[in-house]
Chains A and B, each alone.
Chain A
């Protein structure tokens, strides 16, 4: 990975490959997008590396360097996209010609509002760390985890990337960004009394290795994974039925992300494929609930100084005191729905067109201490985190699975249980929130998939209680 000193200046680097200065690049894009209503030239160079330790063996150390361009031509609902990894004026002109031949109506390139230069929300650099040094960290993680006699297997993974981006628009706007990303994850298997269970923990963000390889950081992740695996070993079956459910802070926000967040991405709005399409200004949650999607949080996985269309990101309020107040927009949905773009146009790489995507989606803190929420729950289930889930975008029905939950009995967390699922409807579930903790935080290292593209996201919420509106699917069988 290039050192801080070697970090590329995107304008200079891509300008050199194209043989053009800023004025020349703008002229090139104007020519390539002639007759388009909107669009941009997106240039990217990505360097990434990863290595894993699988039960004591170093597996698949990899390093890749990818670069290329994406030329996007937008006319109303239609998106024409060309991409290639030969960055040259000739290749871009050819791509523009291919798209022009099939373009629908000739349009005037619409100038949209200009934005002030945004404040960077991460350092645009990644300190180098040799493969040998990364392997040493993974072996230290392995040794530390195996100090616990119940641990039988350890998988540890370390990865980082540095992505240089340049966006050139036909109206002369040129925006650049250098985006670091690092991630560490660990999975442990524990065995006891003939039973075997596994659990994982991961951490990551827009920073470099140095934030991950400090023993204090990775030890807490390893401890968490071991604790969960051992809890699962002694866990019993999960009760089922309608009962109050308390969701933990952090990663349990994946329910919010999947069940609510995707429905508030405005491409679903103009395609009329979201259950929220007609609910703007209406109550969709209890008055205790405020949900935001924030791209400006320092160093978080979903943070971006600018989105992949060159729009500065922002803190977008989606639900305010229970009322649906807004959607996330890229430039296309903003134009089609006469709204402002919110800096939510994202893509996996230059090979992909932008989509409306979440960044860091979280529910804001309330006022209740989390321990008080548990203490005031007579009987119910505490779900600290979720595994996978499914949402039907048309009906709003969702099902989420929870690897490890705890019974709440007389205001106390008691027996751990496995095999819980949570079933409900995303248009109504948040109206049943009757307590919101004062401990909102982002958790885990999330990657969100949509339309064949994966992007890093932040996911979070405070501890909260659902007094109804959900059904717990359990594994407990009734006595005959």
Chain B
């Protein structure tokens, strides 16, 4: 689904929500592609490729707010989900603080939005890595990890890539198309403490993912950097 099609679906959902009785509505249409490869002790174990699309509708009826979502873009489901969001809004308690931001409360005008989004620096325009490229990186990282003193085996080293396009529309004219990319890598290792019956399994996933979240535009997958950071962690202490 391209961006033009996503915008068309978003506008259609807004119309459905309005005609079902919403006083205001916000719709989100998202598409994403993801690739990841996990190797374990140097051997390919898990490979994932996904391509998905989904939408959600937040409907407001006065100061009540309802929500529904779907990944089915069948025409019947578009209308049905918008209607369910409105029905949900009727059942919940009113919340006077829940309302759409007025145009004068937006952080910038619609004309300035593309420039502001670029400042958020969340889209990597470099070519998407293929599964084969991710696997090659995972094998290298897995090998480096297993060379650490005391590490007996790998429980899985993963490289992943995720790209996403989000379209957000509101009934009072807000409209945004936002692409983003994200890389991830992680490794889980077994550390042999000298006693064959007492292997200690230590997951380093969280540390690795934290580093990547901090990385900026055009993230490069630096194995050396990752392991410099990991060795400062607590798992070998």
Interface residues, chain A, CB within 8 Å of chain B?
45, 51, 57-68, 77-86, 91, 94-95, 98-99, 101-102, 104, 131-132, 135, 351, 353, 393-395
Contact = CB atoms under 8 A, between A and B. Distances in A.
A353 B49 contact: no
B46 A58 contact: no
Contacts of A60: 67, 92
Contacts, number: 115
Contact of A62 (B52, B71, B88): B88
7 contacts: A58-B93, A62-B69, A65-B77, A77-B45, A78-B45, A102-B37, A395-B197
A61 B66 contact: yes
Nearest to A394: B199
Contacts of A79: 45-47
Given A61-B66, A84-B52, A86-B53, A135 B91 contact: yes
B52 A68 contact: yes
B224 to A, nearest CB: 25
B234 interface: no
B217 interface: no
Nearest to B88: A61
A394 B201 contact: yes
Contacts of B40: 77
A60 B58 CA distance: 11
Given A65-B71, A135-B91, A81 B46 contact: yes
A95 B49 contact: yes
Contact of B87 (A94, A95, A131): A131
Contacts of A91: 51
A83 B52 contact: yes
A98 B91 contact: no
Interface of B: 1, 35, 37, 40, 43-54, 66-72, 77, 80-81, 84, 87-88, 91-93, 130-132, 135, 197-201
Given A58-B91, A85-B72, A99 B67 contact: no
B1 to A, nearest CB: 8
B43 A67 contact: no
Contacts of B1: 86
Contacts of A65: 70-72, 77, 80-81
A386 to B, nearest CB: 24
A351 B54 CA distance: 13
A61 B91 CA distance: 8
Contact of A85 (B35, B45, B53, B135): B53
Given A63-B68, A77-B43, A394-B198, 8 more contacts: A58-B93, A62-B67, A66-B54, A83-B50, A84-B51, A102-B47, A135-B91, A351-B52
